[in-house]
Amino acid sequence: MSVNVKLPDGSIKQFEKAVSCLEVAQSISLGLAKNAVCAEVNGAKCDLSHIIDNDCEFKVYTLKNEEGLEVLRHSTAHLMAQAISHIWKDAKFAIGPAIKNGFYYDIDFEGSVLAPEDLERIESEMSKIVAQDIPIVREEMSRIDAIEFFRKRGDNYKVEILSELDAETVSIYRQGDYLDLCRGPHMSSTGKLKVFKLTSIAGAYWRGDTKNKMLTRIYGTAFEKKSELDEYLVRLEEAKRRDHRKLGRELDLFDIFDEGPGFPFFFPKGMVLRNILEDFWRKEHVKAGYREIKTPMILNQDLWRRSGHWDHYKDNMYVVKIDDADYAIKPMNCPGGMLVYKRKPHSYRDLPERMAELGLVHRHELSGALHGLMRVRCFTQDDAHIFMTPEQIEDEIEGVVRLIDSFYRVFGFKYNLELSTRPENSMGTDEQWETATNALKNALEKLGKTYEINEGDGAFYGPKIDFHLEDSLGRTWQCGTIQLDFQMPERFDLTYVGQDGEKHRPVMIHRVVFGSIERFIAILTEHYAGAFPLWLAPVQVMLVPISENQSDYAHEVCDKLVKLGIRAEVDDRNEKMGYRIREAQLQKIPYMLVLGEKEKESGAVAVRNRKKGDLGVMSQDEFVNKLLTEISDKSDDM
């Protein structure tokens, strides 16, 4: 019996009998086989020891691939678990997946509390296991036998996972004295797991349910080379320095208090930043042909049933009683937008109709998922809903892509595009989904945009395009989205009169640019490390008189700047000038004007830039013109 193995380039390797993945890799290249981590057979990832006994499509992954790094990191999670089992004999292990840039393991330490210094102890034990170069071996066991095996060991978390599996056999991975339930694949031995670092400890409810026990989650990362790990740790420290929660407090912009977990407070400076973003958003949307609306925050249950949210999203909604009837605080702005469209008849001549809304929405998020402004329970979505004829779909999608692109270029963001297709719990017909998905693809291809397909991750009412921003640290954030929807116009019986005089169903686009104002502010804060460009800075100019004698002159110049729309303040506290200058630097204020007796007598200003330092003495008019030009250009050369 021969076995035909099709390689990614379309060529076929033929073997006279069953063959291992490693042997196939060796037949391609000994160098490839040496660096191979795992393989993929007919779309399923597997260990290099996996035996191929039927014709198949075949790929090999190394540590140069994300897939290979994922195997390395997942194997290192098992390495960490083995080390912990040596130190804490009673520890019980839940799940330990690889994640972006690393891994974690959720562990029940049976009452023991881990301290940060325990991570070094665990790392030391991990290094001992690595030095032993223990083979990592896959074994198979019947699900029933596996349940009994883990029950005898007292591993109740594994028993619970196994009890819910719909499989006759399961895979177990053994490395020396440690054995774990896992699908795999894994590295071939612990000796290949030399470059790792445990980074933090957190709490996590078992299965994310607050009714379950709180487990200890240990995060870590692993790389092929130490230089890659060192580079990552430097980026991690820089990310900590830029943490928007820390900067929000230090710069007095925003915070979240214990009295309202997940509900952010914005302070005066934070409101300046927020209002600038919203004003910019409004002006650009007027230019693009949108009209702004405002819809209520609370609407009755019938509306949410009609929209489909009650069936698909109820667990994330806050429900209230009003006059003995059920109402919900809106988690999305869309249904309100439907009612605005439906308030009057429409002709095809009225379309497309573009309605924009800065709408405050509330969603119930688990406390463990909350994270500063990145994940909150109330936030303002910069929503827009576009109603159009089927013939207008591609043009409107192109227009939205161009609009979002123009926004992100202002902030210096690069981005990647992802097209998400039909999920399992979707509404609508196959034909509608095919039409909608093809429309999104065609628009992107017409614009020459590259994109990735994210199978099955669309909204329940339609496919979507997501914009993933890349910040100054190379991290990506999903912000903008464009969702095409045939379902909601159907549910709300929206119509327009066509050229034929008959009623037709409009098609609808849901879209956001910022996504969430709060989250976008968090991203900007970290992207700029709190040093916002001049046009966004809450305070643009700080005037520092050298002594009390120049205080009146400082206030005179400040008043002139404020009247011109420049955000300026005077620091004439009874403190040394050096201290006041350092304070302005710590507050990351773009410009400082240091005013002494010479400046007062000549009516000039001595200018300091937070990045470039001393720019010398300028006339007031020269400085004002410089500022107004930079603000108008939205320059980011600070």
Tell me the domain boundaries of the chain. Answer: 3-62, 67-241, 260-297+330-527, 541-633
Instruction: Enter the tokens of residue 401.
Output: 């892509």
Residue 572's pLDDT band, with cuts at 50, 70 and 90, is very high
Exactly one of 244, 354, 375, 510 is catalytic; name it.
510
Residue 255 CA to chain centroid, in angstroms? 20
Exactly one of 383, 466, 471, 572 is catalytic; name it.
383
Is 486's pLDDT higher than 90?
Answer: no
Which CATH number does 3-62 carry?
3.10.20.30
* 334 among known catalytic residues: yes
Is 425's pLDDT higher than 80?
Answer: no
Domain 541-633 of CATH type 3.40.1360.10: no
Residue 207's pLDDT band, with cuts at 50, 70 and 90, is confident
Give me the pLDDT at residue 638, please: 45
Residue 609's pLDDT band, with cuts at 50, 70 and 90, is very high
113 vs 241, higher pLDDT = 241
Which residues partner with 197 through β-bridges?
221
Distance of alpha carbon 119 from alpha carbon 109, whole angstroms: 14
Give me the pLDDT at residue 485, please: 87
* 487 among known catalytic residues: no
* 182 among known catalytic residues: no
Fold of 67-241: Threonyl-tRNA Synthetase; Chain A, domain 2 (3.30.980)
The single-letter DSSP state of residue 505 is P
H or E stretch covering 320 = strand 318-322
* 580 among known catalytic residues: no
Strand 3-6 to 169-175 pairing: unpaired
Distance of alpha carbon 512 from alpha carbon 222, whole angstroms: 36
- The mean per-residue pLDDT over the stretch 335-350 comes to 95
Q: What percent of the chain has pLDDT over 70?
A: 100
Rg (CA), the chain: 30
Give, in order, the Cα–Cα distances in Å from 400 to each of 276, 358, 561. 22, 17, 37
Give me the pLDDT at residue 205, please: 86
Distance of alpha carbon 62 from alpha carbon 193, whole angstroms: 14
Give me the pLDDT at residue 154, please: 87
Exactly one of 381, 487, 540, 587 is catalytic; name it.
381
- The mean per-residue pLDDT over the stretch 611-636 comes to 93
Distance of alpha carbon 376 from alpha carbon 266, whole angstroms: 13
CATH class of the structural domain 260-297+330-527 = alpha beta
Give me the pLDDT at residue 594, please: 95
Neighbours of 228 (CB within 10 A): 15
Exactly one of 385, 527, 580, 588 is catalytic; name it.
385
Backbone angles phi, psi at 596, to 5 degrees: -110, -170
Distance of alpha carbon 371 from alpha carbon 365, whole angstroms: 10
Contact 534, 610 (CB under 8 A): no
Q: What are the tens digits of pLDDT across the range 143-197?
A: 999 999 999 988 899 999 999 988 899 999 999 999 999 999 999 999 999 999 9
Contact 482, 465 (CB under 8 A): yes
- The mean per-residue pLDDT over the stretch 343-369 comes to 93
Compute the mean pLDDT over every residue in the chain, rounded to the nearest whole number.
93
Instruction: Enter the tokens of residue 161.
Output: 């996972």
Instruction: Enter the tokens of residue 74.
Output: 């997942």
Exactly one of 92, 285, 464, 588 is catalytic; name it.
464
Q: What are the tens digits of pLDDT across the range 69-123?
A: 999 999 999 999 999 999 999 899 999 999 988 999 999 998 778 888 899 999 9
Ranking 220-229, 280-289, 475-484 by mean pLDDT, the lowest is: 475-484
Exactly one of 92, 285, 363, 519 is catalytic; name it.
363
* 468 among known catalytic residues: no
Residue 106 CA to chain centroid, in angstroms? 22
Buried/exposed 554-590: b ≥16 CB within 10 Å, e otherwise: beebbeebeeeebbbbbbbeeeeeeebbebbeebbbb
- Whole-model pTM over 0.95: no
Residues 6+ apart with CB under 8 A from 53: 1, 3, 18
The single-letter DSSP state of residue 7 is -
- The mean per-residue pLDDT over the stretch 515-540 comes to 96
* 422 among known catalytic residues: no
* 510 among known catalytic residues: yes
Is 267's pLDDT higher than 80?
Answer: yes
